[in-house]
Amino acid sequence: MHGTVTPELWFQMPEPAIEIRGLSFWYGEKRVLHRISMPVAKNKITALMGPSGCGKSTLLRCLNRMHDLYPGNRYAGEAILKRDNIDIVAPETDPILIRLRTGMVFQKPNPFPKSIYENVAAGLRIRGIKNKAVIDEHVENALRLAVLWDTVKDRLHESAYRLSGGQQQRLCIARALAPEPEVFLLDEPTSALDPLTTDEIAEVILALAEKTSVLIVTHDISLAMGIADYVAVLYMGVLVEFNTVDEISTRPRTEHALNFLTGRARVRRKNGS
């Protein structure tokens, strides 16, 4: 049932925030994910890793129902949001609700063409919250969690586009945090940032795990090993290994995981050698 997650590890882990069970996904006729089964541990950081094109971002977007924005895509299997036992990918599940409960931050900062305040308040307004005092409180709390409040507290009504790239990414983190999601999804959130800003975002992500469950896609092995509690390695849409960060960094069980984590790759030369 649990693929490459050993039964011993599964039962040793904290209660999952999401339990993924045999999840497959198709872009039209092309199958991209093959029966993925793994937990997203509650209040822990899980890193999704693997070579480019292996299905990491596809899996992440399944958990936010982003694929529903495009026609012809199809899910099979389940992804159970454990708090209310809701299947994220079931046709009857409201994608808008899921996007509030599984906040997502993308590779490049994508602030709305609005003020800093309205960017963070957007999800709250979608939830139907109208009380200004309540919105103010959530906006401030989210900006504090994203380590941005002290920088912007006197600029809340300025355009979000006036922030630096790293600040815009932290704003996007705050925007996703404001509706208090149960799971926080990050798709290569530091790939467009310099090393110093990457370190700052890493500190933010570590702090987030005290409030919510984190699933992060990254190619940055040092980032994953520095912040993750668990690591899942995908290869060609298949979950080939899942383990604690300590185990997978020192004793990977599969060749695919070993090759990826050590930076080795097979290259087919033109002459076939």
3-state secondary structure of 146: coil
- Percent of the chain exceeding pLDDT 90 equals 61
**Is 188 or 8 the better-scoring residue by pLDDT?**
188
Question: What is the reported pLDDT for 264?
Answer: 52
Is the predicted pLDDT of residue 249 greater than 90, yes or no? no
Tell which residue, 137, 168, 136, 140, has the closest CA to residue 153. Answer: 140
pLDDT for res 95: 92
Q: What is the pLDDT of residue 261?
A: 79
Q: What does the pLDDT average to over 198-214?
A: 88
* Segment (H or E) for 177: helix 165-177
Cβ neighbourhood burial of 131 (10 Å; 0-12, 13-18, 19+): exposed
> Of 228, 225, 182, 222, whose CA–CA distance to 205 is shortest?
228
pLDDT given at position 129:
92
Residue scoring higher pLDDT (219 or 93)? 93
Distance CA 211, CA 236 (A): 32
270 band by pLDDT with thresholds 50, 70 and 90: very low
Please list, in sequence order, all residues whose beta carbon lies within 8 angstroms of the beta carbon of residue 180, skipping any fewer than 6 positions away.
138, 212
Task: Indicate the angle between helix axes 165-177 and 195-208, nearest 10 degrees.
Answer: 10
Residue 1 has pLDDT above 60, yes or no: no
d(CA 7, CA 116): 46
Does the pLDDT of residue 153 top 90, yes or no?
yes
Domains of the chain with bracketed CATH = 7-113+181-261 (3.40.50.300)
**How does residue 69 score in pLDDT terms, banded at 50, 70 and 90?**
confident
Write down the pTM of the prediction: 0.88
What local confidence, expressed as pLDDT, does residue 127 receive?
A: 86
Q: Looking at residue 226, what DSSP letter applies?
A: H
Q: Which H or E run includes 231?
A: strand 230-235
The predicted pLDDT at position 267 comes to 37
Q: Are 62 and 73 in contact (CB under 8 A)?
A: no
On the question of pLDDT at 58 being above 90, the answer is yes
- Per-residue confidence (pLDDT) for residue 269, from 0 to 100: 30
